[in-house]
Amino acid sequence: MTTLDQTTTVPASLLQGWDSIEFYVGNARATAGFLTAAFGFRVTAYAGPETGRNDTASYLLEQGDIRFVVTAGLTPSSPIWGHVREHGDGAQDLAFVVDDATATYESAISRGATSAREPYELTDDHGTLRLAAIGTYGETKHTFVDRSDYHGSYCPGFVTTGLPPEPRAEPVGLERIDHVVGNVETGKLDEWVAFYEDVMGFRQLRHFDEHQIATEYSALRSTVVTNDSGVTMPLNEPAKGLKRSQIQEYLDTYRGPGVQHIALGTSDIVQAIGALRSRGVRFLEANAEYFRDVRQRLAFLDLPWDALEQLGILVDHESDGHLLQLFTEPITDRPTVFIEIIQRGGATGFGEGNFKALFESIEREQDKRGNL
């Protein structure tokens, strides 16, 4: 990297936090129904043929501060279909709130980022939304969203009344996007970390090498970057093991790099997982040995151990505190993107103590798919 413009403000310092995550899917209505009925999201806005859009249908789903958008193409020529044909359903746009979309975009471009969409505006009766987008790993992009002159709830083109009826279930207490993890190509982890550090101005928070994250069969390398204002993104690459790494399975089935999982924070994980399980959400299951071991190892923590074990919730502890977490099975047909539910009790890590147990659980599922 020799062409960096060191005079501009780094993009990371202009990101105020997560705006939304957009999924491209084959059937937006069905995915919206799954996220409402199983996870307790509410559909709060909609755009489609009824609102003057002829080529896509989009549902905005909200719970706590979390905003997901699920979008499907309606015509064979829609670029959404091209994406779905190649990757299956996936998280395509990781969007951030900014003060000035053009300034953030220009800073990123001048420092070496690739344009995904030059600055543009969308206007309706509620004002003007200003946006711009850059590319990141695979076909994933980052949209910068400036809402300062827009007073509607989401985006021009969306309606918030007369929404199509959807299945409904009570929210389960999911509050915020905690972190979003990307899987990148073998051997490219350091390049993508350099993109987030040098181009975007993120800081490296942690790094785990293949010796720290390995089971008997497979291994991965992982580096976590953060902008220190709520945007934290671990990045993984496969490493050589006896068998096929779960990251390699992702890359093979997603057919390239992309978002591996989205971690959603809650302050009552026991309640959240209880509700999710009662609605049939499937999780990766640790074995009985895991709970025997963790209850001994972390016995000094004052936790509702019986409830945690009964619900299969994983526990990790580090010097700054503990965290509770659980991972769903992939939420798409291909074994690609999944959701993590996390409750932090002071710990700022990602459950490193659980990695081995977790990956062994993933490998049991991989083996069932014939992919190990």
Query: Which residue ranges make up the site for Fe ion (CB under 5 A)?
Result: 263, 340, 350
Q: Which residue, 139 or 340, is less far from Fe ion as judged by CB? A: 340
Residue 310 CB neighbour total at 10 angstroms: 14
Q: Which residue, 241 or 349, is less far from Fe ion as judged by CB? A: 349
Q: Are 116 and 133 spatial neighbours (Cβ–Cβ below 8 Å)? A: yes
**Please, what sign has the CA dihedral across residues 45, 49, 53, 58?**
positive
Count, residues in the chain:
372
Q: Closest approach of Cβ 20 to Fe ion, in Å?
A: 19
- For Fe ion, the nearest residue by Cβ is 263
Q: Which residue, 263 or 294, is less far from Fe ion as judged by CB? A: 263
Q: Closest approach of Cβ 43 to Fe ion, in Å?
A: 26
Q: Which residue, 316 or 340, is less far from Fe ion as judged by CB? A: 340
What radius of gyration, in Å, describes the C-alpha atoms of the chain?
20
Q: Closest approach of Cβ 207 to Fe ion, in Å?
A: 15
Q: Closest approach of Cβ 259 to Fe ion, in Å?
A: 11
Q: Closest approach of Cβ 86 to Fe ion, in Å?
A: 25
Q: Exposed/middle/buried for 165, CB within 10 Å: 0-12, 13-18, 19+? A: exposed
Q: Closest approach of Cβ 39 to Fe ion, in Å?
A: 17
Q: Which residue, 22 or 340, is less far from Fe ion as judged by CB? A: 340
Q: What is the three-class DSSP state of 96?
A: strand
CA distance 322 to 30: 36
Q: Which residue, 285 or 352, is less far from Fe ion as judged by CB? A: 352
Q: What is the three-class DSSP state of 342?
A: strand
Q: Are 35 and 171 spatial neighbours (Cβ–Cβ below 8 Å)? A: no
